[in-house]
Structure 1
Amino acid sequence: MRVLVLDLDSLRPDHLGCYGYNRNTSPNIDKIAEEGVQFTNYYTSDAPCFPSRTALMSGRFGIHTGGVGHGGTAANVRLEGPTRSFMDRLTFESFPALFRSKGMKTSLISPFPERHSAWTFYAGFNEIHNTGNAGMESAEEVTPTVLKWVEDNAEDDNWMLYVNYWDPHTPYRAPAEFGNPFEHDPLPEWITPEVFEQHRKKVGPHSVHDLNMYDNATSPNYPRNPGEMKDMDGLRDVIDGYDCGVRHMDNHIGQIFKAFEEKGVMDDLMIIITADHGENLGELGIYGEHGTADQGTCRIPMIIRGPGIQKGHVDHGLHYHLDFLPTLADLFGKEPQQSWDGTSYAPVLTKGEEYGRKYLVVSQCAHVCQRSVRFDNWLYIRTYHDGFHLFDDEMLFNLENDPYEQHNLAMQRRDICQEAVYYLNEWHDEMMKSMPYDVDPMWTVIREGGPYHAQAKDLQKYVVRLEETGRGWAIPELKRRHPKAFEKKQEDNIFKKGAELFNF
């Protein structure tokens, strides 16, 4: 058995042709979708990068692993403690360990563990190729390593190759010589001049005026990644920059497929195409980031093609990314590990049967602290720390009528909010009962000063920019919501004046 896993960072499904996108961004990916099963309601349980990949590799929710953030205590997976044996559980229960249990060689081509000091991500791989640029790689830096691996190993049997590409991730990085094949294509219809003008009134990291998170700084190394959007031409720069990253990456994926074809193994190869998270491109007024627990950030592509897999099938059921481990175990004829939180959807792959969850709960604790409930046509978002976006505590969107989350219905549909809160509490009770810890790591993030990308020091700097750019109206509300950040600034100023007085 031969398996290729393509983990394509920040890839939105709705910017792929096979998911209905009007631009020709993904001809090579689209061909694989035609030959396999495509999932339309597939979500990471925990966003963004480190939490998502930790959940996939362990088969467990972030609330169980403890890995929900990008800094502080919650940027580490919990130690097993007294129950740890000579080898830890990941040795036998991780994503690559499942393939190892089938006697398969497991290979990783990725800089991700170094990017986030996510050393647990290495667990279970026989060999590791770090492409060396900590996630700032463009496809032309990754593909030569992959092609060399294919040349050396493709004709062998029983292997799994896991490859990371990064091109859709900010800063958008397709090389200048790639050009812009989309310069004459229309922009997304839903972002009208009127909608864009409403987005210009929003504040927060990665808003229209602050694409560099808290300011409009740019880098000459990444000309496709602007610092702000002053008009609809600026909007085009962002959308085209993202789509060029997707198409540039897809071209390189095509090179890999061609190499497998030349080795004569393409027809027997299982191919899995997915992502760690998506990318906000206007949802909630945010651009070029994956910083919320919403549809833009947490919905991801999943395409599976290979021997014994249904061809040309589209599944609309609700699934978590972490459901993939028990699904693979099912396909391999193995029992699922007791630690895994996922549920197998193998019947979708082998028989085309409808199989999905009643609801999903997805979390984000790196840029904001939010938990969301996805059920029926609804997305309910509960915000515990707004990441300085001034989000309402509760947001409710009807994704059938409002897929880009522009109209918060929480006040009009309290009945739906109550149903969502019931599901959220049911999930939380189950999570807390099924682990030996009494701490929800989301609250650890909040107690340690908030999400890593929304710290007091960031707000102190940001209010100056708000004043300078005519958005000072937001500062009183930011002070009301985040008083400790301003208290800390006052303490810092007192210390600074004291130091000057005593010549420290």
Structure 2
Amino acid sequence: MRIIYIDIDSMRPKHFGIHGYHRNTTPNMDKIAKQGVRFNRAYCATSPCVPSRASFSSGLFGIHSGVVTHWGPGCDYRYTNDKDRPMFTRLLRENDYKLATFSSFADRHDAFWYMAGWNEVHTHTLKAGNENADEVIDAVLPWLKQNGKDDNYFLHLQLWDPHRNYTIPNKYQTLFQDDPAPAWPDQYTIEQHQNNYAPFSARMTFPYSDKSPLETMPDRIGNTTDFKKFVDSYDGAIRYMDEQLGRLFDTLEELGVMDDTAIIISGDHGEAMGEHGIYGDHVCADEAVHNIPMIIKWPGLERTNVQFNELVYNVDLQATICEMLGIKVPRKWDGKSFANLLRRTSYTPRDYLVWDHGLYSVGRSVRTDDWLLMRTYHPGVVPLEPIELYQMKEDPFMINNLAEEHPEIVEKLDHYLQEWYQEQVGQPFEKPDPLPLVVETGPFKYITKDKWAEHLSNTGREDLREQYLRRIGEIDSI
């Protein structure tokens, strides 16, 4: 079997045409989706980039991989060659698959454990994630033309384009200027967001700077016109990336292997576009950050152009790939194969998911069919409540915190959270949860605690500085 895994950084499923987005952002990826299946509710188990790709490499939740943040305490990858908990890449290679990755991820994040298992690692530039899709595809196509007709390979390519800043050709930065922006956030919501002290929020869209690095991106989000300019650039980056992927798909057609090649499109995490007052980044354990794309075109599937609403994790993909290939799923992986769902046989979906986040803030969340419970253990630089509860079908943008109105739901989801936690740490000889290490030291990585307070003061935002220091306990609450 030939497998191509397309790994997109910071991609929102809601911005795929196949998921109903009103702009024509993903025509090439939509064609792949119509030849396979797609999941509306796929989520990364641990965010953001480094923890999520630790899950990709290991098949584990962050609580087991040891990686729940970007560096320092809570970012100790627990590599083991245990046959019951092998690395995903090593397992495929042991089963006679040739593995190649085209990714600058390890270089960008000093995550050199990511190199393990691959036959070939192509960093293709020294830009550490600041390269555009054309540079990635330019490197991939010669490899594909040489190896694309071979059997039993796993080709992984990573694309950064939807990750800010959107350094794409001007044509794509203005491609959607005549199309309406998403209806939310509206003007009232954006006005409310002016009181958010977090980095990447409306008044501080570019931390430590009041000036956008690109002419096509606004300096800040003060109104719906600014938001449209911002989302136009995000969508333009997606469309540019999609057109570059079209070159990849055309090459598969030219080689005559498209029909016999499995194509998986997914990502490391999502991206906020106004949710929790954040524009173009990932700062907490909410729905916008954890909802990821998941499209699977697999040769021989009976059903195509089908969407699923089951709750699934990114780590379920590794288990599913193995089962579809006839490889025994390791006993201690956290992923649950949904191969039977693809095959239309007996499949018992998960009742709930638990995910966590350890950068800018520290939290763990529970997601059921209807509800999202967010527990924030350290707010870091984000104005989050300790407990937030959202009715996701009625409130998909997480505007109304219903925790006080529905204590019975909070209690029920807290029970799920404790049930999940005991299942993870209660295993014999299991190592401790790494998330408390980030709580203890603080999630102040790129944005440090004191420097952010100083920045708020120096830019005339003393009111927001006081809110921030109260929230993290540096000054007494009034």
TM-score range, shorter chain: over 0.9
Question: How far apart are residue 483 of structure 1 and its match?
Answer: 4.2
| Alignment of 1:16 onto 2:16 | yes
CA-based RMSD: 2.0
Question: What is aligned with 2:64?
Answer: 64
In 2, the alpha carbon distance for the partners of 1:318 and 1:461 equals 42
Between the aligned partners of 1:125 and 1:210, the Cα distance in structure 2 is: 40
Q: Does the Cα contact within 8 Å between 2:453 and 2:465 map onto a contact in 1?
A: no
Deviations 1:224-262 (A, max 9, x none): 343312322211121111100100000000000001100
State yes or no: 1:321 paired with 2:311: no
SS at match of 1:121: helix
Shift in Å, 1:63: 0.9
In structure 1, the residue corresponding to 2:40 is in which secondary structure?
Answer: strand
Residue from 146, 151, 154 that aligns with 1:152? 146
**Correspondence for 1:392 among 385, 394, 404:** 385
Larger relative helix fraction: 1
Q: Which has the larger radius of gyration?
A: 1
1:498 maps to what in 2? Answer: none
Secondary structure, aligned partner of 2:241: helix
Q: Which amino acid aligns with 1:266?
A: M
1:170 aligns with 2:164: yes
User: What is aligned with 1:2?
Assistant: 2
1:472 is matched with: 462
Say if 2:97 and 2:153, in contact at 8 Å, map to a contact too.
yes
Q: Deviations over 1:78-99 (max 9, x none)?
A: 355xxxxxxx349982222232
Any residues of structure 2 matched to 1:148-227 within 5 Å, and which? 148-219=142-213, 222-227=214-219
> 2:440, 2:169 → 1: CA distance?
42
Q: TM-score, normalised by structure 1?
A: 0.90
Matched residue, 1:412: 405
Shift of 1:463: 3.1
Query: Structure 1 residues 366, 181: CA separation in 2 closer, same or farther (over 3 Å shift)?
Result: same
Distance 1:90 1:38, change over 3 A: same
Deviation at 1:172, TM superposition (A): 1.3
- Structure-2 residue corresponding to 1:300: 292
How big is each residue's C-alpha offset from its partner over 1:52-103, in whole Å with a ceiling of 9 and x where there is no partner? 01012101111111111112122231355xxxxxxx3499822222322331
Q: 1:178 to 1:188 in 2, by over 3 A?
A: closer
Are positions 1:440 and 2:433 aligned together? yes
Indicate whether 1:122 and 2:115 are aligned.
Answer: yes
Counterpart code for 2:288: G
Alignment partners' CA distance in 1, 2:46 and 2:39: 18
SS across alignment from 1:93: coil
Show the 5 A alignment for 1:32-51: 32-51=32-51
Any conservation in 1 of the 2:173–2:233 contact (CA below 8 Å)?
no
Change (3 A) 1:65 1:435: farther
Deviation at 1:131, TM superposition (A): 2.3
Correspondence for 2:280:
288
What is the deviation of 1:293? 0.9
Matched position secondary structure for 1:270: strand
2:273 partner letter: L
For residues 462 and 288 of structure 1, the distance between their equivalents in structure 2, rounded to whole angstroms, comes to 20
Q: Displacement, 1:204?
A: 1.0
CA shift at 1:383, angstroms? 0.7
Q: Does the alignment pair 1:459 with 2:449?
A: no
Q: Percent identity?
A: 36
CA distance in 2, matches of 1:406, 1:348: 33
- Worse-matched range after superposition: 153-162 or 40-49: 153-162
Structure 1 unaligned residues grouped into runs of 5+: 81-87, 488-504
Q: Summarize the Cα distance change of 1:385–1:74 in structure 2 as closer, same or farther, 3 Å threshold.
A: same
Instruction: Decide whether the 8 Å contact of 2:381 with 2:449 is kept in 1.
Output: no
Conserved in 1, the CA contact under 8 Å of 2:83 and 2:330? no
In the other structure, the counterpart of 1:366 is 359
Cα pair distance change 1:109/1:91, threshold 3 Å: farther
**Match among 245, 250, 275 for residue 242 of structure 2:** 250
Contact kept, 8 Å, 2:173 with 2:232, in 1: the verdict is: no
Residues 438, 352 of structure 1: CA spacing in aligned structure 2 closer, same or farther, 3 A cutoff? closer
Q: Where in structure 2 are there 5+ consecutive unaligned residues?
A: none
CA contact (8 A) 1:90 1:123 kept: no
1: CA distance between counterparts of 2:45 and 2:208?
27
When residues 322 and 450 of structure 1 are mapped into structure 2, their CA distance, relative to the original with a 3 A threshold, is same
**Higher mean C-alpha displacement, 37-46 vs 112-121:** 112-121
Within 1, Cα distance between the matches of 2:129 and 2:362?
Answer: 24
Instruction: Decide whether the 8 Å contact of 2:172 with 2:237 is kept in 1.
Output: no
Contact 2:269 2:290 in 1 (8 A): yes
Q: Distance in 2 between matches of 1:37 and 1:398?
A: 27
The answer to whether the Cα contact below 8 Å between 1:270 and 1:305 also exists between their aligned partners in 2 is yes
Task: Return the alpha-carbon distance in structure 2 between the equivalents of residues 45 and 320 of structure 1.
Answer: 6
Task: Describe the shift of the 1:171–1:90 C-alpha distance in structure 2 as closer, same or farther (beyond 3 A).
Answer: farther
Question: For residues 303-351 of structure 1, what are the alpha-carbon distances to aligned partners after superposition, in whole Å with 9 as ceiling and x for unaligned?
Answer: 0012122312211101110011221222122222122011111111122
The one-letter amino acid paired with 1:123 is A
Q: What is aligned with 1:495?
A: none
Q: Does 1:111 align with 2:104?
A: yes
Tell me if the contact between 1:3 and 1:270 (Cα under 8 Å) persists in the aligned partners. yes
Confirm or deny that 1:380 pairs with 2:355.
Answer: no
Distance change >3 Å, CA 442–CA 227, structure 1 → 2 = farther
Instruction: Pick closer, same or farther for the CA change 1:284–1:435 going to 2, 3 Å.
Output: farther
C-alpha change, 1:304 and 1:317, in structure 2 (3 Å) is same
The verdict on how the C-alpha distance between 1:90 and 1:44 changes in structure 2, with shifts beyond 3 A counting, is farther
- Please, which of 136, 147, 151 is the counterpart of residue 130 of structure 2? 136
Report the residue type matching 1:125 in the other structure. W
Relative distance call for 1:223 and 1:187 in structure 2 (3 A) is same
Structure 1 position 389, deviation (Å): 2.2
Give the residue type in structure 2 aligned to 1:237: K
Change (3 A) 1:179 1:456: closer
| DSSP-derived class of the 1:390 partner | coil
Q: Which residue of 2 aligns with 1:25?
A: 25
Q: Provide closer, same or farther for how the CA distance between residues 92 and 294 of structure 1 changes in structure 2, counting only shifts above 3 A.
A: closer
Label 1:92 to 1:421 Cα distance change in 2 as closer, same or farther (>3 A): closer
Residue 457 to residue 225, structure 1, CA distance change in 2 (3 Å): farther
Distance 1:39 1:8 in 2: 15
Q: Bigger CA drift: 146-155 or 348-357? A: 348-357
Q: Judging changes above 3 Å, is the alpha-carbon distance between structure 1 residues 43 and 345 closer, same or farther for their aligned structure 2 residues?
A: same
TM-score (norm 2): 0.94
- The answer for the alignment partner of 2:252 in structure 1 is 260
SS at match of 2:238: helix
Between 95-104 and 32-41, report the one with greater CA deviation. 95-104
Distance 1:292 1:223 in 2: 28
Secondary structure of the residue aligned to 2:113 is helix
Distance 1:225 1:367 in 2: 23
Which residue of 2 is the match for residue 273 of structure 1? 265
